[in-house]
Amino acid sequence: MKNYKIAVLAGDGIGPEITREAIKVLKLIEERNDVTFELMPAAFGACAYFEFGDAFPQSTIDICDQADAILKGPIGLSHEQSKTIPIDKQPERGALLPMRRRYNTYANFRPVFLPKALAHFSPLKPEIIGEGIDIIMVRELVGGLYFGSKETGINEQGLRYVKETLEYDEHQISQILHQAFKLAQKRKKVLHNIHKSNVLKSSVLWNEILDEVAKEYPEVEVIHQLVDSAATNLCLKPTQFDVMVMENMFGDILSDQGGGILGSLGLMPSACIGDEKAYYEPSHGSAPDIAGKNIANPYSMIGSVAMMLENSFDMAAEAKNVWDAMQGVFGDGYSTADLSKPGSGVKMISTEEFGDKVVEKL
Amino acid sequence: MKNYKIAVLAGDGIGPEITREAIKVLKLIEERNDVTFELMPAAFGACAYFEFGDAFPQSTIDICDQADAILKGPIGLSHEQSKTIPIDKQPERGALLPMRRRYNTYANFRPVFLPKALAHFSPLKPEIIGEGIDIIMVRELVGGLYFGSKETGINEQGLRYVKETLEYDEHQISQILHQAFKLAQKRKKVLHNIHKSNVLKSSVLWNEILDEVAKEYPEVEVIHQLVDSAATNLCLKPTQFDVMVMENMFGDILSDQGGGILGSLGLMPSACIGDEKAYYEPSHGSAPDIAGKNIANPYSMIGSVAMMLENSFDMAAEAKNVWDAMQGVFGDGYSTADLSKPGSGVKMISTEEFGDKVVEKL
Ligand SMILES: CC(C)[C@H](C(=O)O)[C@@H](O)C(=O)O
Ligand SMILES: CC(C)[C@H](C(=O)O)[C@@H](O)C(=O)O
């Protein structure tokens, strides 16, 4: 009997309601496998700041430190609400980035997946979706502009200025590239390298190291694409991509564009993996506008559980069952109000019902 | 009789062929207005590097210095070809960025425009395009990561590293924001401010200055959107945007995504405006794969001429005629092979024929 400890950080906004559904799935997996999941809930995000004055309080750190894996809901507040919290205490700078740094979860995997049968969710025409979109974006998650030093002040001309640095070293670059090449090797053996080497020296170093790392994966074909072209092509011909690798900020933007082409960020789970610890989270925000309405689709959170099963607990078969169950619920014509418009022909169900139906299918 | 000097930099790849069509339009405007255009062709880009060893040779600088406005074609080479040129001599670092810096063209206007009648060009479903897309992205063009200091070397652990800085001061930020607010005031009085203030300190300063500048434009409503959300929303609901303002790198990526939602970067002209000088260029690359085939649509280059007429020569009425003529040619069912597939119901014409038809319409 395996026993895994899972820190459960439900987060802000729609976090708690979609986390609840993800837990139903974990419970079922537990019942029918030789495994127990010890769930350890902890406060994280704006809710933790308001309760403890700290978005990532020590009690939560302790729980995460002990956990075998972390399941994390979305965090954050609206633009106006954020301003009520001192900048460095805000949930992103005060909790999310410290978590990524603490556990050095440098490899962020973001599937952008839409089978042909679900093409109706997408804003793209069916002929663009073709046989379906099936991309995994591999995003470097603990370097670049996000973690470089930052300086603000008044310059010689008496003007306010800001300077922040985009930093990478060869170790950071090669470790994420290895992850991407390994994934590409398991999939279609094609890796799209997304960069901006015509302007950024960081991309020049990135590409230099890529040429070296590539030698270890001779079967993988590398296709270079500038980040701006990639943004064009994700709209025009997303099916050209299989595995894409890129630095942190590019990954932030392109993966959200990925959510755009699927039809919703609600369809974007993700895995954030370090050498020692991994955490799993939806790629989207906390959607304060629809929080508490029982209309948010729990797909991204349940999908994050699937990624956890596969990556942290070596339960690839159960992970696949979870994906299939979710596709099956959609396939039966069900959807939630955040994803689909009333009258669009879907059978509209709530967050909770979606979770229940996934469990039924399983 | 007004006399304007125009430096004409045809550039690389498809540059010369689309520039040729743009010149036809300039000639016609000249014929029927009390104006003469003195066209001063000059070498710029990879072609200039191969001829003169310099992508922005002194002779071209002299011509641009004298010009009242600069019409610039796309530049650049394929990833592999670029490598044959030393990094700092490559057309982007050796010509384009120096030009932007020399003339301090800090305000880049990129229309993302698709009338309902042309919705078929877009990869987006007609219901997403609705009554048409009509956005102007205002991109800061001479600051940020593009022009910050860059450092590469070996660190204490013996690892190669790179550090580049994203720098802005309050003057740089406020001047671009003023441009954006002025434009918003002339249009729908709504300005989408695109930033990443939950991570970047540069966005924090940007937003601080925005709050100050906004006071001078009380009629303009400001809507804040994180750059990643904007990337989602440009796919899901592009019609929510009218004027968008953002820093340099964000503008590079989102404007190319803009080309994606229109159906082609070939539909993206742009104006790059400084206090003393302006230049006009397509937002796309030199498309070496289709160069010389007479299939590239000259829309972006002719549109850049229209922007020049309006901004540099105060000929707004003629500018509008040019836009209308181009839309008219599309409206008559004509298109080029870079934009449309054979058999998609359009009447396929060449680059040259497209230019001729625009002139006819005019
Ligand atoms: C919330 C924010 C700090 C975060 C990021 O920028 O990485 C989010 O957008 C994401 O993509 O995970
Ligand atoms: C060619 C390149 C340097 C340029 C940029 O990044 O600004 C281009 O992509 C653009 O958008 O004008």
Q: Which residue from B minimizes the CA distance to A124? A: B124
If you search the block for the tokens 């300005």, which residue do you land on? B191
Cross-strand pairs, B107 = B140, B273
Cβ–Cβ < 8 Å for B49, B85? yes
User: With b meaning 16 or more CB within 10 Å and e meaning fewer, what string describes A52-69?
Assistant: eebbbbeebbebbeebbb
Question: Tokens in use for B138?
Answer: 């205002």
Residues 6+ apart with CB under 8 A from A171: B157, B159
- B227: pLDDT strictly greater than 90: yes
User: Measured in angstroms, how far is the CA atom of residue B228 from the centroid of ligand 1?
Assistant: 8
* Residue A228 a catalytic site member: yes
User: Residue B263 and residue A167: Cβ atoms within 8 Å?
Assistant: no
The tens digit of pLDDT for each residue in B272-302 reads 999 999 999 999 889 999 999 999 999 999 9
pTM of the model: 0.97
From the first residue on, what is the mean pLDDT of each consecutive set of 10 residues in chain A (362 residues)?
A: 96 96 97 96 96 97 98 92 91 96 98 94 96 98 97 97 98 98 98 97 98 98 97 98 98 98 95 97 92 94 98 97 96 92 88 96 92
Q: Which residue from B minimizes the CA distance to A259? A: B232
Confidence of residue B343 (pLDDT cuts 50, 70, 90): confident
Distance between alpha carbon A139 and the CA centroid of its chain, in Å? 9
Cross-strand pairs, A333 = none
Confidence of residue B78 (pLDDT cuts 50, 70, 90): confident
- B142: pLDDT strictly greater than 90: yes
pLDDT for residue A1: 87
* Residue A289 a catalytic site member: no
Distance CA B258, CA B281 (A): 16
Distance CA B146, CA A169 (A): 20
The catalytic position among A252, A280, A334, A338 is A252
Assign B72 to helix, strand or coil: strand
pLDDT for residue B80: 85
- B342: pLDDT strictly greater than 90: no
Distance CA B125, CA B193 (A): 26
pLDDT for residue A179: 98
Q: Which residue from B minimizes the CA distance to A92? A: B198
With a 6 Å cutoff on the Cβ, whether A283 touches ligand 1 is yes
The alpha carbon of residue A5 is apart from the nearest alpha carbon of chain B, in Å, by: 30
Contacts of A159 in chain B (CB under 8 A): 169-171
Question: In angstroms, what CA-CA distances link B307 with A357, B272, B282?
Answer: 55, 10, 11
Distance CA A103, CA A97 (A): 10
Cβ–Cβ < 8 Å for A7, A42? yes
Q: Using CA positions, which residue lies closest to atom 9 of ligand 1?
A: A252
pLDDT for residue A345: 85
- B176: pLDDT strictly greater than 90: yes
Of all ligands present, the nearest one to the C-alpha of B82 is: 2
Cross-sheet strand order for the sheet of A107-115: A35-41, A2-9, A69-72, A278-280, A271-273, A107-115, A132-140, A243-246, A190-195, A221-226
What size, in residues, is chain A?
362
Contacts of B169 in chain A (CB under 8 A): 155, 157, 159-162
Distance CA A278, CA A71 (A): 9
The mean pLDDT value for B251-261 works out to: 98
Is the torsion defined by CA of B197, B203, B204, B210 positive or negative?
negative
Would you give the DSSP letter of residue A124? Answer: B
pLDDT for residue A175: 98
Which residues of B are the active-site residues?
A: 146, 196, 228, 252, 256
pLDDT for residue A82: 86
Contacts of B82 in chain A (CB under 8 A): 198
pLDDT for residue A178: 98
The alpha carbon of residue B257 is apart from the nearest alpha carbon of chain A, in Å, by: 5
Contacts of B253 in chain A (CB under 8 A): 227-228, 231, 250, 253-254
pLDDT for residue A78: 87
Cβ–Cβ < 8 Å for A257, B231? yes
Distance CA A306, CA A319 (A): 4
Cβ–Cβ < 8 Å for A335, A297? yes
> Which atom of ligand 1 is nearest to A100's Cα?
7
pLDDT for residue A328: 95
Distance CA A160, CA A163 (A): 10
Closest CA to B11 of B92, B75, B56, B54: B75
